[in-house]
Homo-oligomer: A and B are copies of this chain.
Amino acid sequence: MFRYLALIIALLFSTITSAEDGYRMWLRYDQVADSERLAQYRKHFTQLVVAGDSATLELAAAELTRGIEGLTGRPVARADKASRAGALIVGTPNTSSTIAALKMSKLTSLGQEGYLISSRRVNGKPATVIAANTEVGALYGAFALLRQLQTHADISNLELHSAPSVKHRVVNHWDNLNRLVERGYAGLSLWDWGTLPAYKDNPRYHDYARINASLGINGTVINNVNADARILTDQFLEKAAALADVFRPYGIKLYLSVKFNSPMLLDGFETADPLDPDVQKWWQERTKKVYDYIPDFGGFLVKANSEGQPGPQDFGRNHAEGANMLAEALEPFGGVVFWRAFVYAPEQGDRFREAYDEFMPLDGQFKDNVIVQIKNGPIDFQPREPFSPLFGSLKKTNIALELQVTQEYFGFSYHLAYQGPLFAEALNADTYAKGEGSTIGKILAGDIFEYQQTGMAAVINPGTDRNWTGHPFVQSSWYAFGRMAWDYRLGSETIADEWLRMTFSNDPALLQPLHEIMSISREAGVNYRSPLGLTHLYAQGHHYGPAPWHDKSGRPDWTAYYYHQATKDGIGFDRTQSGSNAIEQYHEPLTQRFANPDTTPEDLLLWFHHLSWRYEMDSGRSLWHELVHKYDTGVAQVQQMQNLWDSAKDYVDTERFEHVKALLKIQERDAIHWRDACISYFQSVNGLSLPKGSPKPAHELEYYKRMEKELYIPDPWYPVPGGH
């Protein structure tokens, strides 16, 4: 009977209450379990004083009301002025005379988005003040205070202040106009074009904005970089404007991905040459139209001359000429162009080199409202990449860092892979551009070069899935991106701690095992797929399963062989002088360091060197044995994650526990599949035997090759198989 009773309990949860279906993300606001903290919070929040009336301040008031009432289980009275002990006063010096009277000098250093949270005495009574220079700053402060409560912080004597280190904190959606999401894995696009603009108050749009605002994200690009030109027609601008209206009070600007040859596709132009006056005029007029619909429109994101997308090079022009044409059209309205550096042409010898080789000659030629958006690594969101050498090299061009939350290369929404460690690795990477300590984080913060503006962007995957992201833990990577975009110095562990407390519970018995899961999950994904600097061994197209044997394709860099170069003698891509010499794109001492296998970090080794299978590693093992060891470790780490999750059973609600447990089972299956497929392929190349104790692959190589075609990947992105 037990099984049925369990089901029935799940059923009751699923329909009677919203249960823990993940919809609330990290904004759950359930009552504080710690009785001491509960008492403190109840004492500190007896009334809410939000002076001024505007959409944004009303949202701050609503969020604080909902949050405090949920967390304390007590109503919070709204008041015009602080009249008793425990008032919470929110506003700006302009909207609140109380705040103006407090003369908080610190405010001057907090800019347009920073906030200050301070325990003060107001009218002789203890109060908490959330102050900012702008209303959106106050909204960010409201979320920051709630985060304190959600993580059980002592708030008896608060003196917090914070301001973002990067101007543009933007999420990117790869959503198509037919609602399919490229690399999304969490249902259909959130943007229900068919019911827009009529049904603009779909609660989901508002909750989407709340979730982003809670992190300080201030921009969203709502459509795929593989853009559909029709996004710039009245039919879609009217719909996009409705979304912009919803996002506006949350401090979020709307951006659009545009197709570079739109004048040809929409209005029959014969060219989209950025130097052609008629083309320039078309973009100026069309941009004006966009601003007629969306007065505070953020700007354009462009993928040009990359993977078949049109671009200025099709018309004999360069990236700067293309980007500047759009920048001129946007300039009168204060908009910006995010121009992606993700480019590589088939003829390129080493894809690693290309972005640098194409963009460096243009450094200084881009207009001030152009921002070149660079992926963290030189290839494409692989489980581990060295940082893109454009960071620290583009000195006179505004830049943005592009990260990926959606797990294109990390097992879609089936695998648990917290990306915080990867993001931190990128931000902490030292470019040595101006000597030691020239990290990418500091560069983005403007501490190294004089940029007009910088940004951080992440490709996120929220869709119509009830929990937004498919795998519940993909939420944690979205959270990590947002928090690091606000403050790049926050560590991956600190952020994981916040997220776990807000998303699950503050119970140490839960935190300990879940912390461990999150801290190993990304490395596990590296180990069972492509350790020691191997990369891109994926089946082409779906990027889910392994296909290291893949050596034929439309272009060499779309094969796995191109990346691992495995032969009887050795393995790895030689990017030293004897090879593509891509290492010359780095500053010293990195070039020297990467030139020598012995000084190259082992986790990047095969990114830069082609080495004998017998090359001796720090462990004393041969490269081949170390490789097998890493694959075995990856599988063991997934199994460890399973055990850790099971150990938290009593501290997680049934619904999320069973969901994640089932997904970890799938991940274990896939980790073993990856390891065995790769090992049996590499054995077929090097003829070497396995180290003692390493399990033999369960099947012959032929089986794994067959599975590349037969293993079914259910993703609506791919056309109906067989067709009908």
> Chain A: residues with CB nearer than 8 A to chain B?
1, 4-8, 10-19, 21, 23-24, 27, 29, 53, 55, 58-59, 62, 66, 70, 176-180, 187-188, 192-195, 198-204, 206-207, 210, 224, 226-230, 235-236, 249, 259, 265, 308-309, 412-414, 464-466, 655, 658-659, 662-663, 665-666, 710, 712-716, 718-722, 724
Nearest chain B CB to A291 CB, angstrom units: 22
**A–B pairs, 6, beta carbons within 8 Å:** A4-B58, A178-B720, A187-B188, A201-B662, A230-B721, A719-B719
- CB-based contact B13/A199 at 8 Å: no
Of all chain B residues, the one with the shortest Cβ separation from A14 is B203
- CB-based contact A724/B662 at 8 Å: no
CA distance A62 to B11 in the complex (A): 9
In the complex, chain B residues whose CB is within 8 Å of the CB of A70: 16
Given contacts A14-B204, A194-B666, A228-B720, 9 further A-B contacts (CB under 8 A): A4-B55, A4-B58, A6-B201, A13-B203, A16-B70, A178-B718, A178-B719, A195-B663, A199-B658
Given A15-B23, A199-B663, A464-B187: A1 and B718 within 8 A (CB)?
A: no
In the complex, chain B residues whose CB is within 8 Å of the CB of A722: 228-230, 259, 265
CA distance A307 to B228 in the complex (A): 31
- CB-based contact B206/A59 at 8 Å: no
In the complex, chain B residues whose CB is within 8 Å of the CB of A259: 722
In the complex, chain B residues whose CB is within 8 Å of the CB of A24: 15
- CB-based contact B715/A226 at 8 Å: no
- CB-based contact B265/A662 at 8 Å: no
In the complex, chain B residues whose CB is within 8 Å of the CB of A176: 720
Q: Which of B29, B55, B309, B721 contacts A724 (CB 8 A)?
A: B309
In the complex, chain B residues whose CB is within 8 Å of the CB of A201: 6-7, 10, 658, 662
- CB-based contact B716/A716 at 8 Å: yes
CA distance A253 to B201 in the complex (A): 40
What secondary structure prevails in chain A residues at the interface with B? loop
- CB-based contact B662/A199 at 8 Å: yes
- CB-based contact B59/A8 at 8 Å: yes
- CB-based contact A198/B15 at 8 Å: no
Nearest chain B CB to A527 CB, angstrom units: 22
- CB-based contact B14/A192 at 8 Å: no
Nearest chain B CB to A393 CB, angstrom units: 30
In the complex, chain B residues whose CB is within 8 Å of the CB of A465: 464
CA distance A685 to B12 in the complex (A): 60
CA distance A722 to B464 in the complex (A): 24
- CB-based contact B659/A199 at 8 Å: yes
Of all chain B residues, the one with the shortest Cβ separation from A226 is B724
Nearest chain B CB to A413 CB, angstrom units: 8
Given A308-B724, A718-B178: A1 and B53 within 8 A (CB)?
A: yes
CA distance A204 to B308 in the complex (A): 40
Of all chain B residues, the one with the shortest Cβ separation from A228 is B722
- CB-based contact B721/A15 at 8 Å: no
In the complex, chain B residues whose CB is within 8 Å of the CB of A58: 1, 4-5, 8
- CB-based contact A193/B714 at 8 Å: yes
CA distance A393 to B62 in the complex (A): 66
Q: Which of B66, B308, B662, B714 contacts A179 (CB 8 A)?
A: B714
In the complex, chain B residues whose CB is within 8 Å of the CB of A178: 714-716, 718-721
CA distance A308 to B16 in the complex (A): 45
CA distance A58 to B4 in the complex (A): 7
Q: Which of B10, B177, B230, B663 contacts A203 (CB 8 A)?
A: B10
Of all chain B residues, the one with the shortest Cβ separation from A58 is B4
In the complex, chain B residues whose CB is within 8 Å of the CB of A724: 224, 226-228, 308-309
Q: Which of B17, B195, B224, B666 contacts A414 (CB 8 A)?
A: B195
- CB-based contact B180/A716 at 8 Å: yes
Q: Which of B177, B204, B665 contacts A721 (CB 8 A)?
A: B177
In the complex, chain B residues whose CB is within 8 Å of the CB of A203: 10-11, 13-15, 19, 21, 655
Of all chain B residues, the one with the shortest Cβ separation from A13 is B203
- CB-based contact A666/B195 at 8 Å: yes
In the complex, chain B residues whose CB is within 8 Å of the CB of A659: 199, 202
Given A188-B716, A207-B14: A62 and B721 within 8 A (CB)?
A: no
In the complex, chain B residues whose CB is within 8 Å of the CB of A714: 177-179, 192-194
- CB-based contact A66/B12 at 8 Å: yes
CA distance A651 to B464 in the complex (A): 28
Given A18-B17, A206-B10, A724-B309: A713 and B198 within 8 A (CB)?
A: no
In the complex, chain B residues whose CB is within 8 Å of the CB of A229: 722
- CB-based contact A177/B15 at 8 Å: no
In the complex, chain B residues whose CB is within 8 Å of the CB of A662: 195, 198-201
CA distance A66 to B9 in the complex (A): 11
In the complex, chain B residues whose CB is within 8 Å of the CB of A29: 16
Q: Which of B12, B62, B210 contacts A62 (CB 8 A)?
A: B12
CA distance A379 to B120 in the complex (A): 76
- CB-based contact B16/A66 at 8 Å: yes
CA distance A212 to B229 in the complex (A): 43
Of all chain B residues, the one with the shortest Cβ separation from A224 is B724
In the complex, chain B residues whose CB is within 8 Å of the CB of A17: 17-18
CA distance A658 to B203 in the complex (A): 10
- CB-based contact A11/B210 at 8 Å: yes
CA distance A201 to B53 in the complex (A): 47
Nearest chain B CB to A138 CB, angstrom units: 15
Going nearest first, the 10 A-B pairs with the smallest beta carbon separation are A14-B203, A199-B662, A18-B18, A226-B724, A193-B714, A8-B62, A198-B662, A194-B714, A4-B58, A198-B665
Of all chain B residues, the one with the shortest Cβ separation from A10 is B203
CA distance A221 to B177 in the complex (A): 30
- CB-based contact B207/A11 at 8 Å: yes
